[in-house]
Amino acid sequence: MIIVTSETIPGQRIVKTLGIVRGNTVRARHVGKDIMAGLRNLVGGEIHEYAKLTAESREQSIDRMVAEAESLGANAVIATRFTTSMIAQGAAELLAIGTAVIVEEN
């Protein structure tokens, strides 16, 4: 599966547009990780616990978007975007959205 943020794929021609596909996940923070993140926040630097949580959420959202695209028969997703939103105190949604297409080599 080809996944791009652009509206075209170099060397490929879009032969059919199948529609919007999405994948999302909602993750909550973990008390133990919050304590470590709080301590790290005192001394500065990257908060590895949250960076890892965000990376895992992004990958799960992409996987779900790809599964939806595959169910439509797509072999690529173009115009991929990510967005986040707060669902509740300590819980956030990460959404991947794009357009499922069928492409062929030029």
Pick from 58, 69, 59, 56: which is nearest to 22 by CA?
69
Kindly list the structural domains of the chain, giving each domain's residue range(s) and its CATH number in brackets, ordered by start: 2-105 (3.30.110.70)
Where would I find the H helices in the chain? 31-43, 48-71
Q: Report the pLDDT value the prediction gives residue 18, as an integer from 0 to 100.
A: 98
pLDDT in tens, 1-44: 999 999 999 999 999 999 999 999 998 866 555 566 566 666 66
Q: Report the pLDDT value the prediction gives residue 88, as an integer from 0 to 100.
A: 79
> Whole-prediction pTM value?
0.84
Q: Determine the average pLDDT of the residues in 66-72.
A: 98
Q: How would you classify the pairing of strands 2-3 and 12-28?
A: unpaired
